[in-house]
């Protein structure tokens, strides 16, 4: 198969590792002809499959994707994994997180290989904790980058609106703090900001409120319940509670009463995440790519 990896030079050789080099090695190990091209290169339109990063911020990427699919070729979208984000990568032909092709299935039984992949993941992370009722602790508001593609479908799109909504609806006697995204400069004027590690911020949390931040997965791993505006993959899996501006006060009061997700569902959700991300060694070895290409080819283009 003729495959093109579409990436700029700073994505190919970057300190913010994006796994294109390992992807090329794994595809070549499976016998594919692989070229690495800059956007707008002529070779892109002669490929049978394209792999590109994120593709959500510029209309050009969406146009390329539609053109690729219209001519019967495959188009795969890459994005960071859920936990060790520099080591793991999501790859899917429809999207990532709540837009992935398998998102509608995430509340059901985990896919084949999910348990084994989860065990491998567990070896690299601190032990997972189960949810416990937390009679004390603050509400932890999780900030996101303003250009996060996931925010486009949400009721609110920015950290300042999230903080203002929480303050306006905070139940009596409850304190809230804000944990900014590491790449964001925003700090709310009326809420304490925690600039340390995410683990430290979660350690003192009663529950978290987020739009749909990936950090919600870390909260679930740490045993902290999640309240989200969504759309979010963990809410689709039934392991986080969905809220809105109109119901936020009621939902936070409900969280204060001790709402927790069913631990069996949380574990199944983590099996799904583990099965739908791959580390650099797995990409370089290539078996996961054989399955990925085979799955979509079997479903039709």
**Given its phi and psi angles, is residue 108 left (phi above 0), alpha (psi -120 to 50 degrees) or beta?**
beta
Pairing type for strands 192-193 and 205-210 reads unpaired
Whole-number pLDDT of residue 222 = 95
**Nearest-angstrom CA–CA distance, 95 and 151:** 14
**Nearest-angstrom CA–CA distance, 27 and 29:** 5
pLDDT per residue rounded down to tens, the chain (301 residues): 999 999 988 888 777 789 999 999 999 999 999 999 998 888 898 999 999 998 765 678 888 899 999 999 999 999 999 988 889 999 999 999 999 999 999 999 988 889 999 999 898 889 999 877 565 799 999 998 766 767 677 888 888 889 999 999 999 889 999 999 888 888 999 899 998 999 999 999 999 999 999 999 999 999 999 999 989 999 999 999 999 999 999 999 999 999 999 999 999 999 999 999 999 999 999 999 998 998 664 444 4
| Phi, psi of 74, deg, nearest 5 | -95, 145
Instruction: Look up residue 300 and give its two tokens.
Output: 């039709």
CATH H-level, domain 138-273: superfamily: Glycogen Phosphorylase B; (3.40.50.2000)
The burial class, CB within 10 Å (0-12 / 13-18 / 19+), for 111 is: middle
Whole-number pLDDT of residue 183 = 82
Whole-number pLDDT of residue 133 = 59
With beta carbons less than 8 A apart as the criterion, state whether 240 and 220 touch.
yes
Where in the chain do CATH 3.40.50.2000 domains reside? 138-273
Whole-number pLDDT of residue 299 = 44
Architecture of domain 2-102+277-299: 3-Layer(aba) Sandwich (3.40)
**Nearest-angstrom CA–CA distance, 270 and 247:** 28
Instruction: Look up residue 18 and give its two tokens.
Output: 């994006």
Nearest to 208 by CA among 160, 274, 145, 137: 137
Which residues are CB-contacts of 145 (< 8 A; sequence separation ≥ 6)?
181, 183, 184
pTM above 0.85, yes or no: yes
């Amino acid at each position: 198969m003729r495959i093109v990896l579409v990436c700029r030079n700073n994505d190919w050789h970057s300190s913010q590792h994006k796994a294109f080099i390992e992807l090329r090695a794994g595809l070549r190990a499976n016998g594919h002809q692989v070229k690495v091209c800059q956007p707008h290169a002529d070779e892109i339109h002669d490929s049978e499959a394209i792999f590109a990063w994120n593709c959500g911020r510029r209309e050009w990427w969406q146009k390329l994707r539609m053109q690729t699919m219209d001519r019967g070729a495959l188009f795969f979208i890459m994005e960071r994994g859920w936990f060790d984000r520099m080591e793991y990568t999501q790859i899917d032909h429809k999207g990532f997180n709540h837009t992935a092709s398998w998102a509608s299935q995430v509340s059901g039984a985990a896919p084949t290989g999910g348990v084994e992949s989860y065990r491998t993941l567990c070896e690299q992370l601190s032990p997972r904790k189960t949810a416990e009722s937390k009679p004390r602790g603050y509400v932890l508001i999780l900030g996101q980058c303003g250009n996060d593609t996931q925010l486009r479908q949400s009721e609110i799109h920015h950290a300042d609106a999230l903080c203002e909504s929480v303050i306006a609806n905070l139940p009596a006697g409850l304190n809230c703090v804000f944990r900014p995204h590491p790449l964001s400069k925003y700090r709310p004027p009326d809420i304490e900001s925690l600039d340390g590690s995410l683990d430290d911020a979660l350690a003192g949390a009663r529950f978290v409120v987020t739009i749909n931040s990936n950090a919600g997965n870390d909260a679930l791993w740490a045993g902290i319940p999640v309240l989200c505006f969504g759309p979010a993959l963990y809410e689709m899996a039934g392991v986080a509670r969905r809220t809105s501006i109109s119901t936020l006060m009621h939902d936070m009061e409900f969280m204060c009463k001790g709402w927790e997700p069913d631990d069996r569902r949380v574990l199944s959700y983590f099996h799904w995440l583990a099965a739908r991300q791959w580390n650099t060694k797995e990409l370089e070895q290539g078996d996961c790519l054989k399955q990925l290409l085979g799955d979509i080819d079997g479903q039709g283009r």
